[in-house]
A and B are shown apart, each in its own frame.
Chain A
Amino acid sequence: MAKTIRQIGLRLVVALTKLCTRRARAGWKPSHRGVSLRGR
């Protein structure tokens, strides 16, 4: 059950990610990711 919920959650998260991110062109990009160790 927990596994199924996680699978559904993951699909939702991936769908959201596709909505909220963009493809990037090749080459160097300015980095905004920071250096924090917080978060997965």
Chain B
Amino acid sequence: MKRIVLGIGGLLGHDANAALMIDGRLAASSQEERFTRVKHDGVFPHRAVADCLRQGGLDCGQVDEVVFAEKSFQSLLFDLSGRPGNAFTRTLGRLLPELWGGYYTKPARALFPGARFSYAWHHLTHVAGAFHTSPFQRAAFLCVDGKGEDYSASGGVIDKGELRLLFEQPYENGLGMFYTLVTYYLGFCSFGSEYKVMGLAPYGRPTFVEKLGRLFTTDGQGGFRLRAPIRFTEESMIGAFPIVADATGVPARGGKDPLTDAHIDIAASLQQVFEDEVFKMARFVRSQTGEDNLLFCGGCAQNCVTAGKLRSANIFSDVFNSPVGGDMGSGFGAAILRERELTGGAPLKIETHGFLLGPEPGPVPDEAQPWRVPYEGELHAFVAEQLAVGKIVGWVRGGMELGARALGARSIIADSRQPRMQSMLNLKVKFRESFRPFAPAILAEDCADWFDPALPSDFMQYTAGLVPSRRNPQPAQFASLRERLDFPRCEIASVVHVDYSARLQTVRPETHPDFHRLITAFKAITGVPIVINTSFNVSGQPIVCTATEAWECFLNTDIDLLVLNDQVFRNPFQRTREEKLSWLRQFAKSA
């Protein structure tokens, strides 16, 4: 008899997801937004659950165990009482009937009437997901998050049989909330926009660090709390804008207002404060646990700049950043926790298949067929040739990625050597702010020739610096942001930020064989083992999932070629600018 465990995440109201484990093997994991087409959708993940069961060849009646990625009653009590929980609230959580288990319980009970239900501490789902995909046998962990039940950060130790949660920071108004608050204040008001501020920071100077320091209290160990009692709601954060404006002396920026030097410097300062505090936390965890290895996880661990610096900081011998740091991987982590509990610490090695755990693209739409491009020989060689002459290619093959980053299954790919490719992709393909950087996907075996440190970053979890010998010196000052962006700072300027950093994807044949083959073919033509890899979507749109969605996105952007499984299509370029803008408007709310 098989043991079927289903993990469900998203009870915090965003990034609903599901993961299926069969006899300790990860069978599938999907995000609800990929099916509902609403970015960060937090509804009960009916479609993600159905996709997992379909991939596992199961029906609902066969699921034995359902585990939620949050103790939702503890979260509710905290929201209503304003007090962190204790033994009393946890006892209540055990005694009260199922209907107190949060708004996911009812639909889950209806779907799985015969299953046993359990609830995981939210941060521990992040920890378990990180540990079982890391190379470590044992490690300390530091989870820094927006909110998990009633706490914002936690630390402890994990190995294959033991998980010890040692320290925590109560309340939600911690470091994650601080970053989100300033992100909103800088005019990036859609959920999950913190990465835009991280990308903006290198353009500025951290001249507002002291002023931002008026907003919070901190100690030498990273014990951090905002002075004002702000909650994790949009209304609460917008209500706190005057407090931030008072501290900085700069009014809050509206989403459509131009970015001034002061805004950019505030972004740089925010990132600086964040890094300093994470480093303090990491030192604290090191001193308390004595462990050599660190798992950096939770929503804040998606800050790959900080993760990259933490890895090079010599606080720990080695640092592993969770491949799926945000809540989209929480169902996955919850399922692992339940599996650990059920098997009593038996070795559990999770094969993640490069985190390409979602559905296949499905059939090519009929309307695409007239635009099919015949090619001779091998697909990867043909596409590499097209990339090398400057074509932008949509690449849709196989099961799609879990998590926010495209890893070569639903990607837009372009030549990293082309001048101005960054601006072109931002403005004509992604329809987003021109300052936003792109990630290089590089053959892992060539990484040391280009970046330092040349360490694995298979899921874009870290930044690294371009090696000095490949840098072109930049002038001390630029007349404008545009001039700075377009300056040829190196051979691959489209994927190297103004501070010569890059958010790497190191591509290995054993992890992402198909994508590795494509970059190898590109290298054979150009001598450069690097392509631009960005998610196949436009600003505010979830990454495309099906061939039909890819085709629709293709028609409304300036992508030249679309690869759907083994077929190649050229863009008819028939849509007018007005038609494209009209199509884009549906995603504006999440942009």
Interface positions of A (Cβ within 8 A of B): 6, 10, 13-14, 16-18, 20-24, 26-35, 37-40
* Contact residues in A for B375 (Cβ distance below 8 Å): none
A33 adjacent to B169 (CB under 8 Å): no
Q: Is the interface of B mostly helix, strand, loop or mixed?
A: mixed
A34 adjacent to B165 (CB under 8 Å): yes
B222-234 contact mask (Cβ, 8 Å, vs A): 1 or 0: 1111000000000
Cα–Cα, bound, A29→B63 (Å): 38
Taking a contact as CB atoms closer than 8 A, the residue among A20, A29, A30, A31 that contacts B88 in the complex is A20
Cα–Cα, bound, A28→B165 (Å): 12
- What is the distance, in angstroms, from A20's C-beta to the closest C-beta of chain B? 4
B284 adjacent to A28 (CB under 8 Å): yes
B155 adjacent to A28 (CB under 8 Å): yes
Cα–Cα, bound, A28→B82 (Å): 18
Taking a contact as CB atoms closer than 8 A, the residue among A6, A27, A33 that contacts B85 in the complex is A33
B81 adjacent to A39 (CB under 8 Å): no
* Contact residues in A for B77 (Cβ distance below 8 Å): 13-14, 17
Cα–Cα, bound, A18→B81 (Å): 6
B71 adjacent to A24 (CB under 8 Å): no
B345-383 contact mask (Cβ, 8 Å, vs A): 1 or 0: 000000000000000000000000000000000000000
* Contact residues in B for A30 (Cβ distance below 8 Å): 166-167
Interface positions of B (Cβ within 8 A of A): 67, 71-74, 77, 80-94, 96, 99-102, 118-121, 124, 153-156, 163-171, 217, 219, 221-225, 284, 337-338, 341
Task: Report the 3 A-B pairs with minimum CB-CB distance, sorted nearest first.
Answer: A27-B223, A26-B225, A40-B73
* 12 A-B residue pairings within 8 Å (CB atoms): A13-B92, A14-B80, A18-B81, A24-B170, A27-B225, A31-B165, A32-B87, A33-B121, A39-B90, A39-B91, A40-B74, A40-B94
A18 adjacent to B83 (CB under 8 Å): yes
- What is the distance, in angstroms, from B247's C-beta to the closest C-beta of chain A? 18
* Contact residues in A for B171 (Cβ distance below 8 Å): 24, 26
Given that A28-B221, A40-B102 are contacting pairs, would A21 and B163 also be in contact in the complex, using a CB cutoff of 8 Å? no
Given that A35-B121, A40-B93 are contacting pairs, would A23 and B83 also be in contact in the complex, using a CB cutoff of 8 Å? yes
B168 adjacent to A29 (CB under 8 Å): yes
A28 adjacent to B94 (CB under 8 Å): no
B101 adjacent to A40 (CB under 8 Å): yes
Given that A23-B83, A26-B224 are contacting pairs, would A38 and B118 also be in contact in the complex, using a CB cutoff of 8 Å? yes
Seed contacts A17-B85, A28-B153, A34-B90; 7 additional CB < 8 Å A-B pairs: A20-B89, A21-B86, A22-B86, A24-B171, A27-B223, A38-B119, A40-B96
- What is the distance, in angstroms, from B182's C-beta to the closest C-beta of chain A? 19
B118 adjacent to A37 (CB under 8 Å): yes
A26 adjacent to B166 (CB under 8 Å): no
B167 adjacent to A24 (CB under 8 Å): no
- What is the distance, in angstroms, from A8's C-beta to the closest C-beta of chain B? 14
Q: Which residue of A lies closest to B337 (CB)?
A: A37
- What is the distance, in angstroms, from B128's C-beta to the closest C-beta of chain A? 10
B89 adjacent to A17 (CB under 8 Å): yes
B341 adjacent to A37 (CB under 8 Å): yes
Taking a contact as CB atoms closer than 8 A, the residue among A10, A26, A37 that contacts B217 in the complex is A26
* Contact residues in A for B96 (Cβ distance below 8 Å): 13, 40
* Contact residues in A for B100 (Cβ distance below 8 Å): 40
